[in-house]
Amino acid sequence: MEFHSCQQRLASVLLLCFWMLFIRAHGSRKLYITYLGDRKHAHTDDVVASHHDTLSSVFGSMTIPINSPCVVCLMHLISPELPEVISVQRSRRYKTTTTRSWDFLGLNYQNPSELLRRSNYGEDIIIGVVDTGIWPESRSFNDKGYGPVPARWKGVCQVGEGWGSNNCSRKIIGARFYHAGVDEDDLKIDYLSPRDVNGHGTHTASTAAGSVVEAVSFHGLAAGTARGGAPRARIAVYKGGAGSGNSATVLAAIDDAIHDGVDVLSLSLGTLENSFGALHAVQKGITVVYAATNFGPAPQVVRNTAPWVITVAASKIDRSFPTVITLGDKRQIVGQSMYYYEGNNSSGSSFRLLAYGGLCTKDDLNGTDVKGRIVLCISIEISPLVLFPLALKTVLGAGASGLIFAQYTTDLLGITTACNGTACVLVDLESANLIASYISEASSPMAKIEAARTITGEGVLAPKVAAFSSRGPSVDYPDIIKPDIAAPGSNILAAMKDHYQLGTGTSMATPHVAGVVALLKALHPDWSPAAIKSAIVTTASVTDERGMPILAEGVPRKIADPFDYGGGNINPNRAADPGLIYDIDPSDYNKFFGCIIKTSVSCNATTLPGYHLNLPSIALPDLRNPTTVSRTVTNVGEVNAVYHAEIQSPPGVKMVVEPTVLVFDAANKVHTFKVSFSPLWKLQGDYTFGSLTWHNEKKSVRIPIAVRITIQDFYADVA
C-alpha cells in the first residue's frame, strides 16, 4: 500500500484534508479517496501524525503490505469506529468535457460596457483553470502591460517536461500538474508538466481570461479580435491530465487552488460525483464553475449538479458559416461548414461529378465509383457524431473529392474541421432530399461547393440552447434546478497551442461564465459565491433581441425551459447590477445536504429538503399536498426601492406569494417572503415550469420554477 496525504503535499496551513490511497488488491493498483473534512490540528506535522495513527489502527502497521481485498479495508475505514473518516470513494476518471461570443454578450472590447470599465477588465482577479494544462507561448497569454503578480498570491510555478520557471509570467502566475492515478498510456503521450498536449486547457483558459489578440481566424473564418471575458485577469493553471483527469488529480488541484488564493475556479470537466472539494472552495469564498457536460438533448443527464457550484449549459451565438452548393441545373442549396480553400486541389474550384452514397458505409459504396466525386451521405437513425467520421473516412478512402452530409439539425458543425480543407458540408434532410432527387433525375449530376462565409448579427437566430448540452432534471439533487445558466459554447474560436481553433461543448461555455464571474468579483469584491450566482441567474435572458422565446435544439426543437438553461442565457451587464440577490451562508449547505456530504452512520437523515435552501430557483419534484417555501432577498441596488411580485404559475399548480410587495430602505435591506404551491389535480404528472419575478420600473429579478405533481414515490416516467 502507498499513502499520500494532502498535508505531505503542502508545506503551510491546509484547508482541505483527504487521503489518496493506492491499494494493491488481486494484482491491480487502485486509487481511493478518503475524505476527512477540514483540518483539526494547528500544525501540519500533527495532522500527518494523526493520519498515520488512524491508518495504523486499521492496517496494523504502515509498513505491512495489505493483502486482503480493498473493499474490506475500506469498509473498516468508514466504520463507526473511525468517526473522523467522512467518506471513502473509488477515484473516478474525468473527461474534458473568442472572436464573437463576448460581443454577442454585450462585452465589446472596442466600445466597452460599464461592467468592463468599472471592473477594469477583471484586473488582478485570479482565475484557476483545472484542465489539461496550458500552452504559455500563445499570444493569448502575453503579459505585456501587466503589473506585478498580486501580493496575495501564494502559488508556485512547478517545472517539468517542456516547462521551466520562465513559462510562468505576470499573466500565467502559477502552474501545477498532477498525475496520481492517471493511466500510464495517457502519461506516455503527455508532458509531465503544466504544458498542454491536446489544447483543451489552452482553449478554455484563453476564453476566460485571454489577453487581447488582433486579427485571428480559423483559415479566414470567424475572423476578429480574440480575448477572454476578463482579459486583465490572471491565470493559475492546474493540470489534471491530457484529455482526462480523475478524482485524485481534481481534488488535489482544488485543494492547492484554495491555498494558492484563486478567486474563481473554472472546471470544464465531466465528473460523476459532486465534489466535497468544490464545497470547501465555496466556503472559502471561491466561486466554482462547472460544465453541465455534453449528453444532451436527453433529459436527466446533467452532471456537476451540486447546489454550491454554477453548472453551465451551452448556447449558440449569432454567427453562422453558410456554404453554397450549386447543382448542375444551377439551383443553389445553402448548408454550413468550416470549409476553406486549400491549394489547387479544392473541389470548390469547379464542378465535380455528384454521387449518392446512402449511409456511406463500405457496404453502401460497394460497386459505386466515387473517385473524384462529391458524395451525398444521409444520416437518419444513426447519430451524426458517430456516422460522420466513418462516412468521411470511407468516401475519402475511396478517392472522393468532397462530402455532403445530411442530418437532422444538430450543433455538430465543428466535426467538419476534421476534413482539413476537403469540401465537407452539412445540410438538413429537406435539402438532402432535393439533392438526391437531382442525382436520380440528371444524366450526369454535378455540383460545385463554395468556401464557407462568416455571417454575424441580426440575420442569425440566437441564442439557442445547443442540442448536445446536457439537460435536467438532476438525478443527484432533484429538488435543485440544474443547469443554472447557459453561455456560448458552440463554435467558439480560442487559442490552441500556437494557433486558434473553433471548439464546441459545455467545456467552451464554462469559461465564459468564469470570465463573467471574474468581472463581477472585481466589481463587487464583497459578494459571496451565492450572491454572484444569484446575480447571474436572476438577470439571465429568456428571450432573444426580438422578444421571441429562446429555443432549445434537439429532437425536436422546442421552447427552452429551466432544465435546458436554468435561469436563461447569461447577460453579464445586467448581472453587474441585479437589484436584489438571493444570498446563502456557506454553512447552510451542510444543513441541507449533510447526508450527501457525510456518508457515515452518524448522518442526520432529518435534514430539510433542498428546495428550502435560499437558491435563486425553486424545484418541487414531488408535489402532492400544499407546500410552502421561503426565500430571502437582499437589496444591493438603490437604497429606497419597491418591488412587486409577478407570478407565472406552472400549469396545474396554484402558486401564491406573500407578501406581493417588498419595500426597501436604509433600515430594511433584507426581506423574506413565502411561496405556496398547491396541486390543482391529483395525478402522476410530469414537470411543468413557471417563474417568480420581482420588478420595479428599473429592475427585473426572475427565478425559474419547476414542479412535478405526483401520487406515488419513486415514480419512473419512462412509459
Cite the active site residues: 131, 200, 507
Cell of 166: 520562465
Alpha carbon separation from 436 to 4, 228, 358 (Å, rounded) = 63, 44, 10
Contact 291, 129 (CB under 8 A): no
Cell of 180: 496520481
Cell of 62: 504502515
Residue 514 backbone dihedrals phi, psi, to 5 degrees = -60, -40
How far is CA 484 from its chain centroid?
Answer: 10
Q: Can you tell me the distance from the alpha carbon of 235 to that of 252, in angstroms, rounded to the nearest whole number?
A: 18
**Helices marked H in 429-505 — which ranges?**
429-441
* DSSP label at residue 405: E
Among 628, 627, 620, which residue's Cα sits nearest to residue 690?
620
Contact 234, 537 (CB under 8 A): no
Contact 310, 303 (CB under 8 A): no
| Helix 70-77 vs helix 44-59: crossing angle, to nearest 10 | 120
**Helices marked H in 294-427 — which ranges?**
362-365, 384-397
Q: Provide the 3-class DSSP secondary structure of residue 280.
A: helix
Q: Which residues contact 129 (CB under 8 A, 6 or more apart)?
A: 201, 204, 205, 208, 235, 236, 237, 238, 266, 511, 514
Q: Which residues contact 372 (CB under 8 A, 6 or more apart)?
A: 352, 353, 399, 400, 401
Q: Can you tell me the distance from the alpha carbon of 446 to that of 253, in angstroms, rounded to the nearest whole number?
A: 56
Among 20, 63, 16, which residue's Cα sits nearest to residue 44?
16
First to last CA, the chain: 48
Exposure class string for 114-127: b at 16+ Cβ within 10 A, else e: ebbeebebbbbbbb
Largest CA distance in the chain: 85
Q: Which residues contact 42 (CB under 8 A, 6 or more apart)?
A: none
Residue 110 backbone dihedrals phi, psi, to 5 degrees = -70, -30
Region of 261 (left: φ > 0; alpha: ψ -120 to 50; beta: rest) is left
- 421571441: which residue's cell? 548
